[in-house]
Amino acid sequence: MQLKKQIKAVENNNTQIGYLNAKITALREPILIGVVCVVILIQVEFLGGQLAGIMISLLFFYRALSGLMIFQGSYNNYLSVSGSLENIIDFENELKVNKESNGNKDFKQFKDSIIVKNVDFGYDETDGILKNLNLEIPKNKTIAFVGESGSGKTTLVNLVGGLLKPKKGEIYVDGVSFEELDLNAYQSRIGYITQEPVIFNDSIFNNVTLWATPTPENIKRYEEALQQASLHQFIATLSKKGETMLGNNGINLSGGQKQRISIARELYKNIDILILDEATSALDSETEKEIQTNIDKIKGDYTILIIAHRLSTIKNADKVYMMDKGEIIDEGCFNDLFESSSHFRKIVELQEL
Ligand SMILES: Nc1ncnc2c1ncn2[C@@H]1O[C@H](COP(=O)(O)OP(=O)(O)OP(=O)(O)O)[C@@H](O)[C@H]1O
Ligand SMILES: [Mg+2]
């Protein structure tokens, strides 16, 4: 937004200077000739000067005057460039102010827990998107977030993933605050899976490894990832195995299979934390079952944060957080919540689980 405004300001500035330049260039010659004629007239008529002497002095005068005009042109050029420069300097300063901070405490592997402590968050000037959140995410547990659209689920997982910064409060990973943590190293241990995974029109191997060289070591990692994502059986039925082409955006795959490809892709990267953000509740029951199986298969081996709209997919989660308007209003395992939260029970019953 800011950048657009700056570009607009530079454009306006340049247009005005352009007009000024054009006018000065067009008027330069007539003005000069006018001035010369007036000077000759004054010299000859009123001061009795000699025409030859006048002509010579005028020659010098003319040269000096055109030098002055050129100076005017250069000054206009300077104005147009200096305006753009000022904008670039402002823009650079703004980038510096908003630069992502990256602490120097290295992060090799997730060992224990993530703790969110008294966290408040708002986008730009708006406050109250998340209000005083407190939660703990122990290693290798499956944690689910449910709640109405706009209740802040995606915002919360983005905070935990270090993509957003809390306005108040702290987030700790294995006891180290985000302020001190090398966030790039931490983020390289997180896999992110959306419900609309990107599938490239290429082989399964390339889709999972993102075009890794098929060295024995990479092939081993690829096969482990397939195993963990429950893809190996499906691939065994294909005549070309891992070399099978997946078609444009995975046209040859079901929704659940696409998700498994993207799970395998994340697991291949050697991660600790998996974030699954289900974008919609519009799933057919077959896909819904597949997704539940996919999650249950990797449950316990990874720390999984799952945002679910279809609650069947999180029946086996270790803990479910129910969110409403930026607050956690209930928490517990699926069955406990079903007993204790009328709100949760209502959604479950609406979905006829
Ligand atoms: N980039 C943004 N800038 C400003 N406001 C935003 C931004 N992203 C989200 N919001 C607002 O923050 C609030 C929480 O949004 P969030 O995406 O976290 O909700 P959600 O629970 O994930 O919803 P859904 O179930 O629809 O995905 C909403 O009111 C939304 O309008
Ligand atoms: Mg969301």
CATH classification at residue 277: 3.40.50.300
> Structural domain of residue 15, as residue ranges?
2-97
Q: Among 1, 120, 121, 149, which residue has the most ligand 1 atoms within 8 Å of its CB, making it the best to mutate?
A: 149
pLDDT for residue 130:
94
Task: Locate the ligand 1 atom nearest the alpha carbon of residue 147 and give its number.
Answer: 21
159 in ligand 1 pocket by Cβ < 6 Å? no
Q: How far is the CA of 272 from the centre of ligand 2 (A)?
A: 22
* Nearest protein Cα to ligand 1, atom 6: 123
Q: Does 168 lie in the same domain as 277?
A: yes
Which is it for the CA torsion 326, 276, 291, 286, positive or negative?
A: positive
* Nearest protein Cα to ligand 1, atom 24: 149
> Based on the structure, what is the number of domains in the chain?
2
Q: Does 137 lie in the same domain as 77?
A: no
Let me know if residue 149 belongs to a domain: yes
Largest CA distance in the chain: 115
Q: What is the dihedral of CA 278, 280, 283, 287, to 10 degrees?
A: -20
Q: Using CB atoms within 10 A of its CB, is residue 290 exposed (0-12), middle (13-18) or buried (19+)? A: buried
pLDDT for residue 126:
81
Q: Does 126 lie in the same domain as 62?
A: no
Whether residue 267 contacts residue 208, with contact meaning beta carbons closer than 8 Å, is answered with: no
Q: State phi, psi for 307 to the nearest 5 degrees.
A: -100, 120
Q: Among 119, 120, 121, 123, which residue has the most ligand 1 atoms within 8 Å of its CB, making it the best to mutate?
A: 123
Q: Which residue(s) pair with 203 in the sheet?
A: 245
* Nearest protein Cα to ligand 1, atom 27: 149
Q: Does 224 lie in the same domain as 75?
A: no
Q: How far is the CA of 150 from the centre of ligand 2 (A)?
A: 7
pLDDT for residue 3:
58
Give dist(CA 106, CA 173) in Å, integer. 11
Let me know if residue 102 belongs to a domain: no
Q: How far is the CA of 266 from the centre of ligand 2 (A)?
A: 20
Q: What is the dihedral of CA 314, 315, 318, 323, to 10 degrees?
A: 60
Q: State phi, psi for 241 to the nearest 5 degrees.
A: 50, -130
Let me know if residue 103 belongs to a domain: no
Per-10-residue mean pLDDT, the chain, length 353: 65 76 81 82 81 79 80 85 89 83 86 94 87 94 92 93 92 93 92 84 92 92 89 87 84 82 90 83 67 82 90 88 92 91 86 69
Q: Using CB atoms within 10 A of its CB, is residue 240 exposed (0-12), middle (13-18) or buried (19+)? A: exposed
- Please give the model's pTM, rounded to 2 decimal places: 0.72
Q: Which residues, including other chains, have CB under 8 Å from residue 104's CB and lie 6 or more apart?
A: 180, 182
Give dist(CA 239, CA 203) in Å, integer. 13
pLDDT for residue 125:
77
Q: How far is the CA of 351 from the centre of ligand 2 (A)?
A: 19
Let me know if residue 38 belongs to a domain: yes
Provide the b/e sequence for 312-338 (b: ≥16 CB within 10 Å): bbbbebbbbbbbeebebebbbebeebb
Residue 140: strand, helix, or coil: coil
